[in-house]
Amino acid sequence: MSGDISVYLHGGVYVLPATLRFDADDSGFNGFKVIYRAFPGERPVLSGGRPITGWRSVGEGIYKAQVGAMRFRQLYVNGRRAVRARTPNEGNYYRIREWNSEERKIGIAGDQIGNWERLHEVEFVHQKIMCINFMRIDSFSSSWSGILKEQVKKVLNRTGVFSYPSAAGMAYVVPAEPERTRTFQDQVFPYGAAGQAFHFENAYEFLDVEGEWYLNTQTGELFYKARRGEEMSTAVVIAPVLETLATITGTLDAPVRNLQFHGLTFEHTNWLLPSDEGYISDGGSGLALTKRLPTGQAEAQMTSYPGIRPPAGIHLEAAVNTRFERNIFRHMGAGGVVLYSGTRDTVLEGNVFTGISGNGLAVDMNLEGNPEDKRKISQREVIRNNYFCRVSLDAGVAIHAGYPEAITIEHNEVTDVPYIGILVGWGWSLENNAMKNNIIRYNRVWNVMNLLADGGGIYTLSKQPGTIIAENFIFDIEHSPTAPLNMPIGGIYLDQGSDFIAVHDNVFKNVPVKIHLNNEGSPPVGSNNVFFNNDKMHSSVIDGSGLQPEYKDILNSVR
C-alpha cells in the first residue's frame, strides 16, 4: 500500500447471509488504512435479520405469519422493538413469596401461574438484585391448606362454582435444568429472596396488548398484536438471525491492523442460548454463569473468569489501531461491540448504541486479570463522544471494561439503562492486576439503575493505580420500586478492591448517594483513594459534560 484505501457503501439495506470476517490479510499495511465508509449523504445498513411477510388477521388485532424453523428472541416492527408476550404486562411485575433454596423452588401467589399450553417454553424472568435471570419452567404445583380445601368443598357443594382467590395459597415453580442448579447453587450472590420482582414471558396466552408478539416454535407460527395505526400488509417486520455481523480477528503474532468504519449502521443480531439452557447472568459483565466460583474467588477471577461470553454484533480480537466513527449499533440480541482481548489503540467516537440486549460496548471480556502474555491486555482504547440509550436491556451494562490499561472514557452520554452506566474493573479482588492509568471524565450519565440495584452511574472494582474519575455529571438516578431498598445505589460506586483512584470535581444531582464506598476486605482497602471537590454544582462541569458540539448531531438518529 502506498496510500489509504476507501471502500464506499451506497445507501440501502445489505442483508448479510453470514458473518463478515476480517483477518490480518485485510489490514492496512505500511502505516496506511483501509476505510469502509458510507457514500456521502447516504446511510448503508448491514443487517443480520430477515423480513417476515405474509401476515393475515386471526382476530382481536392479532396477525399471524409463517416463519418455518426460525427461532429468535427479539422482533422489530417498523424499526421499533416489539415486546415478547408477557404477564403482567410491560412496566408491571409480580413478587416472589418464598425462595426455597433447600428444595430449589420458588413460591408465588397461586393465581399468578396457569397450566399454559406450552409451559416448558414459558420463562420465569427474575430480577435478582443486580441481574435479570431467564429460567424456563420445568413444572409447578399448588399448595393449599387443609382448611382451604374444606372451604372449596363447601362452596362447590353449595354452588357448583369456585373462583380461586388470590390469597388462597401458593404455587411453587420449579425451574428447568441447568438454570435451576445455577441460580440456587452456583450463584452465591446475588441471592434470591422473597419480595424480589419477576414476570412470565413467552406464551400465546400472554398476547393481550398492542405491540406484543409470540412465536410457536412447534408450528412455526409467529403472532403479533398490531399497534394502533400499523398496517401489517406494509409493515417492515424483521426477525434477527445472525449472532455476529462482523469479526475483526487476528492473532497476537499477526494482529489485524488499521481498519476503520465510518457512517455505517449495524443491526439485527440474535442469541438463542437463553432459550436453550436459560440465562443466569453474573450481573455487570453480562456473562452467562455456568458454575460456582471457588471459595475466595480471587484466583478464579484473576485467571479466566468462568462463564459463557455472550456474542456481540461486532467482535474484535487481536486487533490494533481500529477506528469506528459515526456508526449506529442497534437492535442486537446480545452485545453491541466487544473488544474481546489483545486489542490496542482502538477508537470509538461519535457512535450511537441503542436497543441492545446486552453490553453496549465491552472491553477485555477475556477477563484475565494479569495475563502472562501482556499482549492480551486491552491497552490505550479511547471511548469518546458516543451516545448509549436503552442498552443492556436483558443483561450487562452500557460500557464495560474488564482489566484495561490506560483506557480513556470521556464525553459520552449514557441514559435509560436498567443497571450500571460505566463499569471499569473486575474481580472484587485485592490482588494486583493489569489495570492502571484509566481515565473516566466529562461523561453525562443519567437515568441509569432504573430497574436493578447494587451499582451506580460509574462503578469500579479492584486496584487500578493512576486512575482518575473526574468532571462527570451524574444525575436523575432513582431507586427503582422493584429493586431492594437495602442494596446501595451511588452516583459513583467504588466496590470491593477499588484502590489508588482519584475521584474529583464530579457533579451530582438527584442521586440516592453521591459516592458509595465498599471497603470490604482484610485489611480494609480503599485508603489510597483520593476524593475532593465532589460536593459542588460546577456549571463548567455540567456544561462541558457529554457529547462535544461537533458530535451532538448524532442524537438526531435516535430522537
* Boundary of a domain, candidates 194, 225, 256: 225
- Report how many domains make up the chain: 2
Q: Return the pLDDT at 23.
A: 98
Q: Which domain holds residue 310?
A: 5-47+243-557
Query: CB of 245 within 8 A of CB of 46?
Result: yes
- pTM across the whole model: 0.94
Q: Is 55 a domain residue?
A: no
- C-alpha cell of residue 50: 430477515
Q: Are residues 307 and 349 in the same domain?
A: yes
Domain membership of residue 234 (yes or no) is no
Cell numbers standing for residue 18: 453470514
- pLDDT, position 305: 76
For residue 35, what are the CA distances in angstroms to 2, 38, 254?
14, 10, 20
**Residue 289 domain flag:** yes
Domain membership flag for residue 486:
yes
Domain ends where: 193, 225, 257?
A: 225
Q: Is residue 529 part of a domain?
A: yes
Residue 147, in any domain of the structure? yes
394 belongs to a structural domain = yes
Q: Is 366 exposed, middle or buried (0-12, 13-18, 19+ CB in 10 A)?
A: buried
Cell 435451576 found at: 180
SS3 544: helix
- Locate 155 and state its grid cell: 362452596
For the residues of 293-328, what is the DSSP string, one character each? Answer: PPTT-HHHHHS---SBPPPEEEEEESEES-EEES-E
Q: Residue 553 is part of a domain; what is its CATH number?
A: 2.160.20
Distances (CA, A) of 276 to 3, 279, 292, 349: 48, 9, 20, 36
Q: Same domain for 340 and 444?
A: yes
Q: Kindly list the distances between the CA atom of residue 104 and the CA atoms of 132, 172, 176, in Å, as whole numbers in the listed order.
A: 18, 10, 10
Same domain, 156 and 68: yes
Residues 32 and 102 in one domain: no
Average pLDDT across each block of 10 residues of the chain; the chain has 559 residues. List them in order: 97 98 98 98 97 97 97 97 97 95 95 93 96 96 55 49 54 96 91 96 97 98 97 97 98 98 98 97 87 61 77 98 98 98 98 98 94 95 98 96 97 98 91 95 98 97 96 97 92 94 98 88 71 95 98 89
Whether residue 250 sits in one domain with residue 199:
no
> Is the separation of the CB atoms in 220 and 70 below 8 Å?
yes
Q: 348 and 459 share a domain?
A: yes
Residues 430 and 552 in one domain: yes
pLDDT for the residue numbered 496: 87
The answer to whether residues 252 and 214 belong to one domain is: no
* 219 in the same domain as 250: no
210 shares its domain with 271: no
Instruction: Tell me, yes or no, whether 221 and 358 share the same domain.
Output: no
Q: Are residues 287 and 334 in the same domain?
A: yes
Q: How far is 304 from 300, CA to CA, in rounded Å?
A: 6
Domain boundary, last residue among 192, 225, 258:
225
